[in-house]
């Protein structure tokens, strides 16, 4: 990794999507270990699939394979659990690290069942975001685990199901994991580029973005023969390619030492602060005008919502914003927020 200031390296979880055979697990582990970049060795034992009759994991027979691979490489191991039976089997096999998958996090009953099974164990647990973009479900899952006394509870961002995103398998929706980090500042937040992208050739840029957003680490799937993998073949990389990918990442510090910040950077930051104040003042001014419009509508018995007028405004501002280099995703969210705030102000006037 490119690193000129002894910046803390990310925590790396790697291994195959699924444990297929003991030989495959062991060879993957040995080749990953040789690269020197892995902190935690992963493999799926039970695989929750969308439809039946697809490979759903080797089951409990695979647990000792991963344990033996961990001992052989001197690496701790981790696997996914989805219910109390899985927890019981993994703890009996000797696992001290577990993760809860996206399809489980979405179900509070299942998370509570797992939490109750882990009570008093001291297990280190990682919670993937729910498949749907619901921050509170993710927060709730973490809280349920903390409430039974688990102190080492962390999060994995693997993206969210979306019918709109055309580039990735799962939409990153970066704002949601960053909001989670705000809710739990001390939690470790790991990015899972494999499930976000669904394609091995997109892993590096997503991993780099996670590093630029100060994520604590990465979970990346690696297989000795990715194209022949029994699950998620397109998103896995060989151990050697994985090592190259991790080594290519540029790591940056969150904050430079104040004494080293030059005057140019201070000046730019001051400009940002001034612009932000101007934007806020202009929005407040806009809302004052919206209130005047609300008073006019009240006097003339006109409805607050004017769909045709709003469509004209939105179309015009979307075109203008894109010409100025703003993303369509940002513009849609910004305009919708602006519209809702305007409606709130007009409603207050109407209801006086």
Output the CA–CA distances (angstroms, integers) from residue 223 to 14, 31, 47, 58, 190, in the order listed.
Answer: 9, 10, 16, 16, 20
**Residue pair 111/82 in contact by the 8 Å Cβ criterion:** no
pLDDT at position 6 is: 56
- The pTM score is 0.81
Q: Which among 106, 102, 77, 109 is positioned nearest to 90, based on CA atoms?
A: 77
Q: Which among 214, 221, 220 is positioned nearest to 24, based on CA atoms?
A: 221
User: If you ran DSSP here, which 8-state letter would residue 250 be given?
Assistant: B
pLDDT at position 335 is: 93
User: If you ran DSSP here, which 8-state letter would residue 129 be given?
Assistant: P
Residue environment code for 212-239, b if the CB has 16+ CB neighbours within 10 A, otherwise e: eeebbbbbbbbbbebeebbbbeebbbbb
Within 8 A by CB and 6+ apart from 49, the residues are: 55, 56, 231
User: If you ran DSSP here, which 8-state letter would residue 44 be given?
Assistant: B
pLDDT at position 261 is: 65
Within 8 A by CB and 6+ apart from 256, the residues are: none
Q: At what angle do helices 22-35 and 239-248 cross, to 10 degrees?
A: 30
Residue in this structure with the two tokens 């680490």, named with its chain if needed: 217
Within 8 A by CB and 6+ apart from 30, the residues are: 69, 72, 73
Hey, what are 224's tokens? 């000795």
Q: What domains can be seen in the chain, in order of their start residue?
A: 11-248 (3.20.20.70), 258-350 (1.20.59.10)
**Residue pair 1/250 in contact by the 8 Å Cβ criterion:** yes
Hey, what are 137's tokens? 């479900």
pLDDT along the chain (352 residues), means of 10: 64 98 98 97 90 88 98 98 98 98 97 98 97 97 98 97 83 94 95 97 97 95 97 97 97 69 79 92 94 92 89 93 93 93 92 84
Residue in this structure with the two tokens 């029994």, named with its chain if needed: 230
Whether the CA torsion 302, 304, 310, 311 is positive or negative: it is: negative
pLDDT at position 4 is: 45
pLDDT at position 3 is: 45
């Amino acid at each position: 990794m490119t690193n000129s200031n002894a910046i803390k390296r990310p925590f790396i979880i790697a291994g195959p999507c699924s444990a297929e055979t003991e030989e495959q697990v062991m060879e993957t582990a040995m080749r990953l270990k040789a690269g020197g970049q892995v902190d935690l060795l992963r493999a799926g034992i039970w695989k929750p699939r969308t439809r039946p009759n697809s490979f759903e994991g080797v089951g409990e027979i695979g647990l000792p394979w991963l344990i033996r691979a961990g001992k052989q490489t001197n690496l701790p191991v981790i696997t996914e659990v989805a219910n109390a039976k899985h927890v019981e089997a993994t703890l009996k096999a000797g696992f001290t690290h577990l993760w809860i998958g996206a399809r489980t996090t979405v179900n509070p009953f299942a998370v509570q069942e797992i939490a109750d099974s882990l009570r008093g164990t001291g297990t280190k647990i990682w919670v993937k975001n729910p498949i749907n973009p619901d921050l509170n479900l993710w927060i709730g899952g973490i809280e349920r685990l903390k409430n039974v006394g688990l102190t080492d509870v962390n999060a994995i961002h693997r993206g969210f199901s979306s019918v709109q995103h055309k580039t990735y398998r799962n939409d990153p929706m970066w704002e949601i994991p960053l909001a989670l980090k705000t809710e739990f500042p001390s939690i470790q937040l790991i990015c899972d580029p494999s499930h976000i992208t669904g394609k091995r050739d997109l892993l590096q840029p997503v991993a780099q973005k996670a590093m630029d957003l100060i994520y604590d680490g990465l979970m990346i799937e690696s297989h000795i023969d990715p194209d022949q993998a029994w699950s998620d073949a397109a998103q896995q990389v060989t151990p050697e390619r994985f090592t190259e990918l991790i080594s290519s990442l540029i790591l940056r510090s969150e904050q430079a030492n104040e004494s080293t910040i030059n005057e140019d950077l201070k000046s730019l930051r001051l400009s940002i602060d001034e612009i932000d104040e101007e934007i806020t003042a202009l929005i407040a001014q806009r809302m004052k005008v919206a209130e005047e419009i609300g008073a006019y509508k009240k006097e003339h018995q006109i409805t607050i919502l004017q769909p045709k007028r709003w469509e004209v405004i939105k179309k015009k501002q979307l075109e203008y914003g894109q010409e100025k280099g703003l993303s369509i995703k940002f513009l849609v969210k910004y305009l919708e927020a602006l519209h809702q705030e305007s409606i709130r102000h007009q409603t207050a006037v109407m209801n006086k």
